[in-house]
Structure 1
Amino acid sequence: MTRAKLDFVSNSSFTSSQKTELLKVDNKDLSFNLMYWELCAGGSTSREILVYGKAHHEFTYPDNEGWHKGTVPTVFSVLPVLRIKDRRPSSPFQDKELVLAEAIIIDTFLAGRFGLLGDNEWESIAIKTFHSSIHYLRERCFSFVLMVPVELRKKAREDFLDGFMKKFCEDHEYHLKANGSNGHYVGNKLSLADIHLSNVIHFFSMAPWGKMALDRFKQYESLWKVNETVEKVPEIAEWRQSALFKGLEECTVGFYSANGAPEDQPES
């Protein structure tokens, strides 16, 4: 099946220089449409950056029937996809939109737009490095634990929690202590890395084995403090209490239940 595609490469109708000019437009004059699944997973951090930045945004979800027929347009046949338009009535970019793909790129792009990449170039590099490491913790959960035959999931989950996740926590605890155990990865202000860690911890909490995962995270005081710090950010705290977010949580729990080991399923 060939999936419908969104234009990504610059061309004569919307050149790279024109796209660069659109990127210079102030945040308040842009609208952001983020399409991702009805889950708290790969699109969650970008959602929270848009909420935190008080951006003019819309969260949309693919039509399942259209997705299976290939009529939902994407860049690489995966989600998330971010579409950006100029909201100004007199905009020189009428009927034009920027399209971004890949969760890591969208996260870091939005973090730069909304002041979450530190105060200088080195801090930006450090934050992006931590973000990448955190991102792959979740991705390895998918590949190591969820996307394996049912009969292997229990052992895969145990190996993941006591192996890869343990090493991840030890490594990140070391670097967080080096930053003063102040609830942030870099410096003393909120960053992309902080928000991303909290999102991934929350994602694990919704697994059938979520309590085991949280117990392991909580063993590392500096790491857990980052999560607690993010949860207190007013915009994020309000978002996570919203009806929309609760609906995403419910869908995520359902996804996990369908992909857990039989012994992880709740008793009926």
Structure 2
Amino acid sequence: MVTPSKDISTETMSQIAKSKENKYELLYFPFHGVLPALRAMLAISGADYTFTHPVDWTKEKPTTPFGSLPVLYETDPTSGHTLELAELSAIESYLGDKYGWMGDNLWERAQIQMYHSSTQAVFDKWVTTVVRAPKENKEQMTEIYLEKILPEWVETHERILQGRRCNGHYVGDKFSIADLKTATTIDNLVSISGDRFLSREKTPAIFAVYDAVEKMPKYAAWKASSEWKAYDELNKKLFGF
């Protein structure tokens, strides 16, 4: 586990953060969990990165900023200084800004964050409503999710993307973290609900986004890797999706 640098100025931190030559270490558990999009971001960025996992989470937990994962460590190879950043949305927005996936202006950035946040929310609601539900309530909570929560997200996003003429992007004609968040979340949602709500026939605009991301060579290579498959296998074993 990398140790973040202390007693360095905010100016130094800012200069380190600007570089794309830094080495990243992303600490999280050895399954997909909430990280499909974030891991994919590093995989397609061309950056030097490593995915690491807690060895003894009980002991390591107090050493993280908020006692939770993920945590991103970014090391400047010249000075050896290491920056530490926690919280999923903060890390994704940071990397999105750094690699040009947040639009071309302030308004596009806000729009991308809006769609990204909406998709993250529908996944988070699955976790809080179903995954964490007591065993005796899981069936009931699953139906609540499938009858009320998921259909609303599907209807809203399909309508919005239809307005974009199914061009495969949420904002403009460029790839963004909103596209990636939806594409990676679709895999989970289809595992949960089959084609009950989501399919190329029922939701062509949503699948236009999914297919555009799937066709990205670096993303396809990441999903074909043994590392991605190992995360996927454990995720299905632990959570069923």
Match of 1:81 in 2: 71
Q: Which amino acid counterpart does residue 230 of structure 2 have in structure 1?
A: G
Unaligned runs of 5+ in 1: 1-5, 261-268
Structure 2 contact 102–108 (Cα < 8 Å) conserved: yes
Match of 1:240 in 2: 223
Q: What's the TM-score once normalised by structure 1's chain length?
A: 0.83
- Say whether 1:217 aligns with 2:198: yes
Q: Deviations over 1:12-65 (max 9, x none)?
A: x2121211121222x1x21111111112132221211111111111111111xx
Q: When the two structures are aligned, how many residues end up with a matched partner?
A: 239
Structure 1 contact 40–203 (Cα < 8 Å) conserved: no
Distance change (3 Å), C-alpha of 1:216 and 1:241: same
Distance change (3 Å), C-alpha of 1:7 and 1:242: closer
Q: Which amino acid counterpart does residue 217 of structure 1 have in structure 2?
A: L
Distance change (3 Å), C-alpha of 1:117 and 1:105: same
Deviation at 1:238, TM superposition (A): 0.9
Q: What's the TM-score once normalised by structure 2's chain length?
A: 0.92
Q: Specify which of 160, 165, 174 is matched with residue 175 of structure 1.
A: 160
The runs of at least 4 aligned residues of structure 1 exceeding 6 Å deviation read none
Alignment of 1:1-268 (within 5 A): 13-25=7-19, 27=20, 29-63=21-55, 66-70=56-60, 73-87=63-77, 91=78, 94-206=79-191, 210=192, 212-218=193-199, 219-257=202-240
Equivalent-residue separation in structure 2 for 1:52 and 1:7 (angstroms): 25
Give the superposed CA RMSD: 2.1
Q: Secondary structure at the match of 1:186?
A: coil
Deviation at 1:120, TM superposition (A): 1.5
Q: Which amino acid counterpart does residue 13 of structure 2 have in structure 1?
A: K
Equivalent-residue separation in structure 2 for 1:205 and 1:41 (angstroms): 15
Deviation at 1:214, TM superposition (A): 4.2
Equivalent-residue separation in structure 2 for 1:249 and 1:24 (angstroms): 32
Equivalent-residue separation in structure 2 for 1:231 and 1:125 (angstroms): 24
Equivalent-residue separation in structure 1 for 2:185 and 2:61 (angstroms): 30
Equivalent-residue separation in structure 2 for 1:252 and 1:236 (angstroms): 19
Larger-gyration structure (1/2): 1
Deviation at 1:182, TM superposition (A): 0.9
Unaligned runs of 5+ in 2: none
Deviation at 1:215, TM superposition (A): 3.3
Structure 1 contact 145–156 (Cα < 8 Å) conserved: yes
Q: Which amino acid counterpart does residue 67 of structure 1 have in structure 2?
A: W
Q: Which amino acid counterpart does residue 202 of structure 1 have in structure 2?
A: D
Structure 1 contact 134–196 (Cα < 8 Å) conserved: yes
